[in-house]
Amino acid sequence: MKAEERDYLFLAVLAVTVVGVTVWTGSRVWYLSLILLCLFGGVFYITRRWHERGFFLICAGVPLMVACGAMSTWAGLVAGWMIAGCACNAMGLLARPRERRLFGVFCAVTLPVALMIYFSNHVVVPILILAVVTGAIVAVQQIRDHQWRKRFGVQL
Amino acid sequence: MRRCAQGLSLIILLLVAGAYVLDDLALLLAAGILLCGLVGQYLVFDRRFREIVSSVSVERSLERTQVRKGTTLRVATTVTVRVPPPMHATISERLSSQVAVLDGDTTLSADPDPEPRTCQFRYRITTVVHGRMRFIGITLAVRDAFFSHEIDLFSDPFSGPDLLIQPVGIFEPAGKRTTAESREVEKLKVVSGFGIRALREYYAGDDLRRIDWKLSAKHNKLFVREYTGMVSLPPLIIIDLPWHGTPFSQAALEQMVSVVAGLAEHSIRSYQYVSILVISGANLLHFSPEEKDLQRCMSMLREWMHPVPRVVHQYHATDRSAIRAEIRHLEAVIVQGGEPAALQFSDRVRKHYQGVITHLRTPAFVGQVARTFSSLKIDECYLFSLASGDTSHIRQVIRQAKIAEMIVHIRLPGAVIAAHPAHDRYLSADTVEAFA
């Protein structure tokens, strides 16, 4: 599958998800998610030749992700996957099979995060858990990096 | 973190802050997804960075491994690295402060390629501090759209080889000592002079009397002095006689005769012989190699020292090297740019010179002078001339003498020196002085 075809696939799935969840939930502000979808589609079209397209797609996709997440956590998750897919594709991060597998891992990792948020009543505990896990990962990584760099830093 | 990752971090922080203030789980979900993406990207980048570092191999070759301080040295460093897309790598050579980079590249970019790529730095360094110097290693900087990392690779596989920089005696007087019959040269000779031409590390078998104890104490290592050599070769005297068809100063000619006779006599008395070459313009008239008899030498001078007819004339001919220098100058002018008309003129002159240089033949006089110099064991010459009329042959003689590694002294009449003190025409000569 070519990069352009992948792009349109992600966009199509995103559009179906947004329209589907809007119809299914019967939200009173149904037009908001459709406007945000159009906004994302516009940015998707306008920035197709831009250098840092991925970043602009994320910026345009975040309000849509929030809108979908407000209607349904799972719709927000799928919208997040699709927007991330568009951004990664724009940055050339899905060109090889290994990278596509990594995208699959990303989707799998976000699933427990969505589950945790789904079963939470307030934001404090999930924020703390996210902060602790991120801090732990960064700290472990820093220690590993320091130990690893020692092997190359011997100045004679 | 690069700009893209910084932007993402800001969005995540705003979303988390919004989620906390509004107690909105949808905002937190968006922040969580972005945070997972950013942390995941960081882990992937780190893994790729380690793969790139483990694929690096460095090989460095030096022109020499032992040099004197101040010497220029050519270095070639070959770096093999595998940079998988979408990563970009920049490799920089790290050098000790004991050397200064003269020219060449010490930084290069390695484009992404799934296969290992070989890049090469080629540069020249000048050694500025003596002692043992090790090539430290390289700095590898890797970046992708989100992150950039840098690592100094200074361990054994990336550093070396060692360069030994020998000190030089910088406080030695520049002038060469000259005694009545010999003078110092910057070469190793059987007979040592008084000046120190270099200092180097002590090797087994070196004369212990030559150890420089002060320097050895300073560096806790034995250093020995290398003295200059002494040579006792008489100078070659070249006499450029005036053409009888051009006006010249009779007084200047008489002065020249007297000075040449004096120098010839001094050479025979000090060195036991003298070589004299008599020319007039581009005509080689007489050559008296290694004349030992003073009377015969003086009679030869009496016979030749007068204006002579010239068979060959050069008509102010420019030699090949001067034309090449002019072409280089014009090319520099064209590269610098300027008025279109001036550039067009420079280009036309350059083309004219290029046309001339292809048809320029080496004059027979140059070959004669070169053959004469090659038959002599001489490292210094004095050229006496009245410098009247065409002087292109003098430049040719200087050039041939320089090719034969001679020290060239030009002696001209005082009036000529006073009229043209700079004497650009004889810039390659070691000294240009008045003979009276």
Looking up residue B65, the CATH number of its domain turns out to be 2.60.40.10
Our CA-based measurement puts residue B76 at a distance from the nearest CA of chain A, in whole angstroms, of 21
Residues B196 and B117 grouped into a single domain: no
Return the structure tokens found at A22.
């809007």
Q: Quote the Cα angle for B240-B245-B251, to 5°.
A: 60
Residues B128 and B158 grouped into a single domain: yes
Which of B231, B255, B270 is a domain's end point? Answer: B231
ipTM entry: 0.89
Q: Is the pLDDT of residue B277 over 90?
A: yes
Q: What is the pLDDT of residue A155?
A: 47
**Average pLDDT of chain A to the nearest whole number:** 87
**Average pLDDT of chain B to the nearest whole number:** 85
Return the structure tokens found at B335.
């590269």
Q: Is the pLDDT of residue B120 over 80?
A: yes
Residues B59 and B44 grouped into a single domain: no
Compute the distance between CA of residue A85 and CA of residue A103 in angstroms, rounded to an integer: 8
Q: Is the pLDDT of residue B267 over 80?
A: yes
Q: Which domain, by its residues, includes B203?
A: 183-231
Report helix, strand or coil for A141: helix
**B26: chain A residues, CB-CB within 8 Å:** 66-70, 73, 76
Residue B143 sits at φ, ψ, to 5 deg, of: -145, 155
Q: Is the pLDDT of residue A126 over 50?
A: yes
Residues B11 and B105 grouped into a single domain: no
Per DSSP (E only), the strands in B84-168 are 88-94, 99-104, 107-110, 113-127, 131-134, 137-143, 148-153, 162-166
Q: What is the pLDDT of residue A135?
A: 93
Kindly state whether residue B67 falls inside one of the protein's structural domains: yes
Mean pLDDT confidence for B328-332? 87
Kindly state whether residue B207 falls inside one of the protein's structural domains: yes
Distances (CA, A) of B190 to B181, B187, B228: 16, 10, 10
Our CA-based measurement puts residue A73 at a distance from the nearest CA of chain B, in whole angstroms, of 7
Residues B330 and B405 grouped into a single domain: no
Share of chain A above pLDDT 70, in %: 97
Compute the distance between CA of residue B305 and CA of residue B388 in angstroms, rounded to an integer: 15
Q: Is A155 in Cβ contact with B154 (below 8 Å)?
A: yes
Residue B179 or residue A40, greater confidence: A40
Cis? peptide before B86, omega within 30° of 0: yes
Residue B344 or residue A50, greater confidence: B344
Cis? peptide before B161, omega within 30° of 0: yes
Q: Is the pLDDT of residue B290 over 90?
A: no
How many domains is chain B built from?
5
Q: What is the pLDDT of residue B427?
A: 65
Residues B372 and B309 grouped into a single domain: yes
Question: What residues pair up with B109 in beta bridges, in sequence order?
Answer: B90
Q: Which of B3, B151, B155 sits opposite A154 (nearest CB)?
A: B155
The pTM of this model reads 0.58
Which of B33, B53, B73 is a domain's end point? Answer: B53
Please tell me which residue of chain B has the smallest CA distance to A53: B4
Please tell me which residue of chain B has the smallest CA distance to A98: B44
Distances (CA, A) of B45 to B38, B40, B280: 10, 9, 79
Kindly state whether residue B374 falls inside one of the protein's structural domains: yes
Residues B43 and B61 grouped into a single domain: no
Q: Which of B19, B26, B35 sits opposite A134 (nearest CB)?
A: B35
Kindly state whether residue B342 falls inside one of the protein's structural domains: yes
Element (H, E) at B408: strand B407-412
Which of B137, B166, B195 is a domain's end point? Answer: B166
Residue A13 or residue B173, greater confidence: A13
Q: How confident is the model at residue A156 (pLDDT cuts 50, 70, 90)?
A: very low
Mean pLDDT confidence for B307-322? 84
Q: What is the pLDDT of residue B24?
A: 86
Phi-psi region of B337 (alpha: psi -120 to 50; beta: other; left: phi over 0): left
Residues B268 and B215 grouped into a single domain: no
**B53: chain A residues, CB-CB within 8 Å:** 152
CATH number at residue B386: 3.40.50.410
N-terminal to C-terminal alpha carbon distance within chain B? 77
| Tens digit of each residue's pLDDT (9 = 90 or more) over B226-255 | 888 877 788 899 999 998 888 888 888 888
| Tens digit of each residue's pLDDT (9 = 90 or more) over B162-214 | 888 877 765 555 555 555 566 676 677 777 777 787 888 899 998 898 899 99
Q: Which of B11, B86, B137 sits opposite A93 (nearest CB)?
A: B86
Q: What is the pLDDT of residue A108?
A: 92
Q: How confident is the model at residue A139 (pLDDT cuts 50, 70, 90)?
A: very high
Tell me which of B15, B20, B28, B42 to substitute to probe the interface with A (most A C-beta atoms closer than 10 Å): B28
Q: How many other C-beta atoms lie within 10 A of the C-beta of residue B288? A: 18
Q: Is B139:B92 a contact under the CB 8 Å cutoff? A: yes
Written as one letter, the residue type at A73 is T
Q: Is B188:B229 a contact under the CB 8 Å cutoff? A: yes
Residues B242 and B391 grouped into a single domain: yes
Q: Is the pLDDT of residue B339 over 90?
A: no
**B7: chain A residues, CB-CB within 8 Å:** 55, 59
What is the DSSP code string of A7-40? HHHHHHHHHHHHHHHHHHHT-TTHHHHHHHHHHH
Kindly state whether residue B224 falls inside one of the protein's structural domains: yes
Q: What is the pLDDT of residue B358?
A: 84
Q: Is the pLDDT of residue A133 over 90?
A: yes
Compute the distance between CA of residue A69 and CA of residue B26 in angstroms, rounded to an integer: 5
Mean pLDDT confidence for A67-84? 90
Q: Which of B25, B136, B151 sits opposite A123 (nearest CB)?
A: B25
Our CA-based measurement puts residue B57 at a distance from the nearest CA of chain A, in whole angstroms, of 12
- Of A110-119, B77-86, B154-163, B178-187, which has the strongest mean pLDDT? A110-119
* Greatest pairwise CA separation for chain A in angstroms: 71
With a CB-CB cutoff of 8 Å, which residues 56-85 of chain A face chain B? 58-59, 62, 65-70, 73, 76-77, 80-81, 84
Q: What is the pLDDT of residue B66?
A: 85
Residue A21 makes CB contacts below 8 A (sequence gap 6+) with A33, A68, A71, A72, A75
Q: Which of B7, B30, B156 sits opposite A80 (nearest CB)?
A: B30
Residues B120 and B76 grouped into a single domain: yes
Q: Is A154 in Cβ contact with B33 (below 8 Å)?
A: no
Q: Is the pLDDT of residue B343 over 80?
A: yes
Residues B400 and B266 grouped into a single domain: yes
Q: Is B27 in Cβ contact with A76 (below 8 Å)?
A: no
Lowest model confidence (mean pLDDT) among A42-46, A90-94, B299-303? A90-94
| Tens digit of each residue's pLDDT (9 = 90 or more) over B60-71 | 888 888 888 888
**B151: chain A residues, CB-CB within 8 Å:** 149, 152
Compute the distance between CA of residue A36 and CA of residue A52 in angstroms, rounded to an integer: 21
